Homo-oligomer: A and B are copies of this chain.
Amino acid sequence: MSEGPKEQGNKELAFIGRLESLLGHPVGNEHWIGDDAAVLDASGHDKVLLTSDLVIEGVHFDRSISSPQDIGWKALAVNASDAAAMGGRPWRCVVCVAGANSDDLDLLYEGLLEASAAYGCPIVGGDVSDGALLVVSVALLATTEGATPVFRSGARCGDALFVTGPLGSSAAGLRELLSDKAARGPRIEAHRRPKARVDEGMAAARSGATAMIDLSDGLGLDLHRIAWASGVGFDLDTVPVFDGATHDEAIGGGEDFELLFTAPNEKDVRAAFHAAGLRPPIAIGRATRDKGVCTLSGAPLEALGYSHEIS
């Protein structure tokens, strides 16, 4: 046996040494952590999806509200959600962490590994470094399992518009936590442990979805993103509001991570979700010819939602 880095008394090396045992064994002839890059077996995958997102202290989370476990979960789940929004299934990911102390690293990885297990997406490599702020960056590969990926640009006039669940839960949960850090319940859970709608995205893709996006920045903004990309408008009849959230939180709150998608045939969509044992998607409106124009019950719906300000 080689002398291991554990004996060097350096905590970064020691953590990476422990990580190798935490992350489990590579599949088949793959080779994961311990080298400069992970080796993945891509044979059998014609198409792969690649996405990356980072979460940074003070922007994507507040450490007085979110535990390191929650931050780890979220960092991976938001990437799984991006894959879901294309109809993809998370496959492999790598994680970089900066600015975590040794205790936080363990807890952060608890959450990362919970999400990794929940989405069947092994962490195959990563890096740890110093930093004055906590940053967690995840890059994720997904597979389409032979299906055609769904873009934002395919919505056509007349398509039905669906959302996979009621909205505003995360924003409502954050509001509750800001007034009472001990608050508990489904909105708090939605804020702390957002779910990526992977099975829903695949069901939507299989049932003819023409455009899809995950609601990371709020319905107001993300709906317009589909409208702009597809060259259509949308007339909404209704916005389903999560129990205990406000109408504004449902439209502008963001971080719901429900999927918003269009499809020409509502029956096919309902059948696919039913066959997959999923909660039925909610039809909320339809695509129109009015390029970029979105309305709710006839009144203009502005492109408002969370967006990062660059000074």
Q: Which of A41-83 contact B (CB under 8 A)?
A: 41-43, 45-54, 56, 58-60, 81-83
**Contact between chains at B36 and A86 (CB < 8 Å):** yes
Q: Tell me what chain A mostly uses at the interface: helix, strand, loop, or mixed.
A: mixed
Q: Which residues of B contact A232 (CB under 8 A)?
A: 2
Instruction: State whether A53 and B127 are in contact (beta carbons under 8 Å apart), knowing that A42-B45, A133-B132 are contacts in the complex.
Output: yes
A2 touches B50 (CB 8 A): no
Are the CB atoms of B39 and A47 closer together than 8 Å? yes
B36 contacts A310, C-beta separation under 8 Å: no
Q: Are A85 and B131 in contact (CB under 8 A)?
A: no
Chain B residue at minimum C-beta to C-beta distance from A292:
B3
Q: Kindly report which residue of chain B lies nearest to residue A231, judged by CB atoms.
A: B2
Q: A41-B46, A41-B47, A86-B36 are in contact. Are A52 and B96 (CB under 8 A)?
A: yes
Chain A positions 79-105 with a Cβ under 8 Å from a chain B Cβ: 81-83, 85-86, 88, 92, 94-96, 98-102, 105
Chain A's interface size range is 35 or more
Q: A118-161: which have CB < 8 Å to B?
A: 124-133, 135, 137, 139-142, 144, 149, 151-153
Flag whether A308 is at the interface (Cβ < 8 A): yes
Q: How far is the CA of A84 from the CA of B91 in the complex (A)?
A: 24
Residues of chain B within 8 A (CB-CB) of A129 are 54, 56, 59-60, 308
Q: Could you say which residues of chain B place their CB within 8 Å of the CB of A292?
A: 2-3
State which of B35, B82, B127, B291 has its C-beta within 8 Å of the C-beta of A2.
B291
Interface segment among A8-16, A163-171, A239-247: the answer is A8-16
Q: A202-242 toward B: CB 8 Å interface, digit per residue (1/0)?
A: 00000000000110000000001101111110000000000
B142-A139 in contact (CB<8A): no
Complex Cα spacing A64 to B98, Å? 21
**15 A–B contacts from the bound complex (CB under 8 Å):** A11-B309, A12-B307, A13-B307, A15-B310, A31-B149, A36-B214, A37-B50, A37-B149, A40-B49, A50-B92, A50-B124, A53-B96, A58-B132, A129-B308, A137-B137
